[in-house]
Amino acid sequence: KSKENEIFVDNVDIQNIKIEDKIKNILKITHDSHIFSGTVRENLSMANENLSDETMIEVLKKVKLWGVLSLDTILESQGKNLSGGQAQRVALARALLYDASVYIFDEATSNIDIESEEIILNIIYSLSKEKTVIYISHRLPAIKNADCIYVMDKGKVIESGRHNELYVKKELYYNMYKHQEDLESYLTKRGENNEKSVNF
């Protein structure tokens, strides 16, 4: 029986897993994943040096970048010649090619355009059917469809369950979700009003 503060991966206590096995099987993707100076091919090859061009093209199609970028497109360090959403999708393509067992997305869709966020979220949910996916986010609509949501307050898990279960409880998750919903609704209406005010 598991005790408090224990984490198991396939029934093995994570403390008993060798560090090299953790590095090999657990991949973390953050909101500012590094893009290296060089071609798209070189950036993707860091996931696996034996990749064929066809495999890399397939994953670029998956993240909706093929046609925008080619394998020979030169990328600047930190993806400075890309939009934030495009840079994040290059990083996601590389992560998919690495083929880890566990993916941790830590605020992976913060500060990017809505189109890129939608593409990335769709891929994450598709990936979760085959892999273990942990998605960390302060933007609650992004995690609405998760199998299990853990709500943390001051470093402790205080609620867990699916979106509908947590929403009807009307506790912290509900309050945070409702606040974000109201804020997004306000910003949308404000944007629409601003558009009307400049139309002559």
Please give the structure tokens belonging to residue 66: 């093929």
Does the pLDDT at position 199 exceed 60?
no
Task: Give the per-residue pLDDT at 6.
Answer: 81
Task: Give the per-residue pLDDT at 183.
Answer: 85
| pLDDT (tens digit per residue) in 17-74 | 898 988 889 999 998 889 999 999 999 999 998 999 999 999 999 999 999 999 999 9
Give this prediction's pTM.
0.83
| pLDDT (tens digit per residue) in 60-70 | 999 999 999 99
